[in-house]
């Protein structure tokens, strides 16, 4: 595959943004985006299938279910550590080659997970599998944005993220069934296979895309000196934590509060997944309208739907459409946080783009932990929805502080 630039180096020539043409030309744009999204599908499948197979995994390495839950945390820690480190080390590398290397490492991490014979080995393998997660999404977002016209950059990034959403509807249930039928190791082998498919598709369909030749360690780390980067990361880590406060305890709410049978739980999980798909699609359109307004709408809307969920939970199926809305608005928030980080990180594009998923995994841990705290305190199974309300509003406050700082800096 070849790469062509949209403008020459002559200063009197219009830029790609002026012409609204892509900076990088893909021979088959749709196939290139599908290849990038396939990586998101593989990552999403392995990240969430562990929750569905937790009893089998715990039994397989001879630990209790609460102890086995630390395997999920090990993956999240890998994401938080790997996102800045790999983005920092790979900023100068050609981006297609970097994506291939990240998917190869992801395949190895899942293969080691399938081969683990002890709890300690599995913990290390899941940590290793999480390392490429954030860097992959960050680099894939940059590549997708470079292949699209500037006016459609948001939609291109959201299409890549769609792979993560589809994984929750198709990949996770399928891998869970596979793991239940053939053993939990089969699910991790399947994730490794998906990574190899992604590797081949990226090699064939994604155009050659140079890294940032001027990147340096000092310049990439300079992103952490920018207040807007920290505020955006904080908005994600706090604001998106609200969704995980509800998602983590959806099963006991459905059976213990709504009064529905266990068979209703997969329906609610499907609603979560469908909401992610709808929100990811909507986020791309909204981002091309206004990234910051989309963030405010997403965060504020999540707060409203958290209150609605708290009110609707005791009334059977009444909470089902609310769950759909929660993840729809949450996905609007996620995609636009990704795009804002790409904007505010300045020259440290690779690091900025990768850090979004580090902050989202912090949100995962924060929301689940606070939800557990209020349940343990005796506030009831609905209480995590009120935690989600508070976290969503806190995220909006951080975004408003970011807007105020932006106005002051311009003044």
336 shares a domain with 194: no
Residue with tokens 């030309």: 25
Q: Would you tell me how many other CB atoms lie within 10 Å of the CB of residue 400?
A: 14
pLDDT score recorded for residue 110: 96
Q: Which of 90, 103, 129 is nearest to 39 (CA)?
A: 103
pLDDT score recorded for residue 2: 37
CA separation for the pair 312, 319 (Å, rounded): 5
CA separation for the pair 331, 162 (Å, rounded): 10
CA separation for the pair 234, 409 (Å, rounded): 19
**Contacts for 217 with CB less than 8 Å, ≥ 6 apart:** 88
pLDDT score recorded for residue 114: 96
| Summary count for the chain: helices (H), strands (E) | 19, 0
Residue 299 inside a domain? The answer is yes
Residue 363 inside a domain? The answer is yes
Residue 106 inside a domain? The answer is yes
pLDDT score recorded for residue 91: 77
111 shares a domain with 257: no
Q: For residues 351 and 214, is the Cβ–Cβ distance under 8 A?
A: no
Residue 8 inside a domain? The answer is no
Q: What is the DSSP string of 132-179?
A: HHHHHHHHHHHHHHHHS-GGGHHHHHHHHHHHHHHIIIIIHHHHHHHH
CA separation for the pair 336, 295 (Å, rounded): 6
Q: Which of 326, 280, 338 is nearest to 301 (CA)?
A: 326
147 shares a domain with 40: yes
Domain boundary among 215, 250, 270: 215
130 shares a domain with 101: yes
354 shares a domain with 314: yes
Residue 11 inside a domain? The answer is no
55 shares a domain with 164: yes
Strand ranges inside 262-392, DSSP E: none
Residue 175 token pair: 């891998």
Residue 16 inside a domain? The answer is no
Q: Kindly report whether the global pTM for this prediction surpasses the value 0.85.
A: no
Residue 299 token pair: 């965060």
232 shares a domain with 110: no
pLDDT score recorded for residue 19: 54
pLDDT score recorded for residue 6: 37
Q: For residues 141 and 157, is the Cβ–Cβ distance under 8 A?
A: yes
Residue 303 inside a domain? The answer is yes
Q: For residues 254 and 382, is the Cβ–Cβ distance under 8 A?
A: no
pLDDT score recorded for residue 8: 36
Q: For residues 172 and 120, is the Cβ–Cβ distance under 8 A?
A: no
235 shares a domain with 193: no
Q: Is 52 helix (H, G, I), strand (E, B) or coil?
A: helix
364 shares a domain with 324: yes
- Please report, for the domain that includes residue 250, its CATH number: 1.20.1250.20
Q: What is the DSSP string of 325-363?
A: HHHHHHHHHHHHHHHHHHHHTTT-HHHHHHHHHHHHHHH
Residue with tokens 């890549």: 160
CA separation for the pair 290, 278 (Å, rounded): 18
CA separation for the pair 234, 253 (Å, rounded): 28
Q: Count up the domains in the chain and report the number.
A: 2
Residue 31 token pair: 């196939």
CA separation for the pair 66, 290 (Å, rounded): 43
How far apart are the two ends of the chain, measured CA to CA in Å?
Answer: 46
Domain boundary among 180, 215, 250: 215
Query: pLDDT below 70 — which residues of the chain?
Result: 1-26, 66, 211-223
H/E element, 61: none
Residue with tokens 């990704």: 338
253 shares a domain with 203: no
Residue 293 token pair: 């307004």
CA separation for the pair 75, 71 (Å, rounded): 7
Q: Which of 131, 135, 120 is nearest to 46 (CA)?
A: 131
188 shares a domain with 46: yes
Range of the domain at 377: 216-411
291-296-298-301 Cα dihedral, nearest 10 degrees: -160
Query: Phi and psi (nearest 5°) for 314?
Result: -75, 0
228 shares a domain with 193: no
Residue with tokens 């020259």: 347
Residue 95 inside a domain? The answer is yes
Burial 284-313 (b: 16+ CB within 10 A, else e): bebbbeebbebbbbbbbbbbebbebbbebb
Domain boundary among 159, 194, 215: 215
């Amino acid at each position: 595959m070849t790469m062509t630039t949209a403008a020459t180096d002559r200063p009197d020539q219009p830029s790609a943004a002026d012409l609204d043409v892509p900076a990088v030309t893909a021979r088959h744009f749709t196939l290139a985006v599908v290849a990038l999204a396939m990586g998101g599908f593989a990552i999403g499948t392995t990240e969430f299938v562990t929750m569905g197979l937790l009893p089998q995994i715990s039994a397989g390495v001879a630990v209790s279910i609460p102890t086995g839950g630390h395997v999920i945390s090990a993956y999240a820690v890998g994401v938080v550590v790997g996102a800045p480190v790999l983005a920092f080390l790979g900023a100068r590398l050609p981006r297609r080659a970097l994506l291939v290397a990240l998917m190869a490492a992801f395949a190895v991490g899942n293969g080691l997970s399938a081969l683990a014979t002890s709890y300690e080995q599995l913990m290390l393998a899941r940590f290793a599998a999480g390392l490429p997660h954030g860097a992959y999404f960050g680099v894939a977002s940059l590549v997708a944005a470079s292949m699209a016209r500037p006016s459609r950059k948001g939609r291109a990034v959201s299409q890549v993220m769609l792979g993560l959403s589809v994984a929750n509807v198709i990949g996770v249930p399928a891998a869970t069934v596979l793991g239940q039928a053939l053993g939990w190791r089969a699910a991790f082998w399947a994730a490794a296979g998906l990574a190899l498919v992604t590797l081949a598709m990226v090699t064939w369909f994604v155009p050659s895309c140079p890294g940032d030749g001027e990147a340096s360690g000092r310049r990439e780390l300079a992103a952490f000196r920018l207040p807007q980067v920290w505020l955006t990361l904080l908005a994600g880590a706090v604001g998106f934590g609200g969704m995980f406060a509800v998602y983590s305890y959806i099963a006991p709410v459905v059976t213990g509060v709504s009064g529905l049978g266990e068979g209703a739980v997969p329906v609610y999980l499907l609603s979560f997944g469908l909401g992610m798909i709808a929100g990811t699609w909507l986020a791309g359109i909204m981002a091309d309208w206004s990234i910051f307004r989309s963030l405010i709408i997403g965060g504020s809307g999540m707060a409203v739907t958290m209150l609605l969920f708290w009110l609707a939970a005791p009334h059977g199926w009444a909470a089902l459409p609310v769950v759909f809305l929660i993840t729809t608005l949450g996905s609007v928030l996620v995609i636009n946080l990704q795009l804002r980080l790409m904007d505010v990180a300045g020259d440290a594009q690779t690091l900025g783009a990768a850090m979004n998923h580090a902050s989202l995994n912090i949100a995962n841990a924060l929301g689940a932990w606070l939800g557990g705290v209020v349940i343990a305190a005796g506030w009831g199974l609905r209480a995590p929805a009120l935690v989600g309300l508070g976290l969503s509003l806190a995220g909006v406050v951080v975004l408003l502080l970011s807007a105020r700082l932006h106005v002051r800096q311009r003044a």
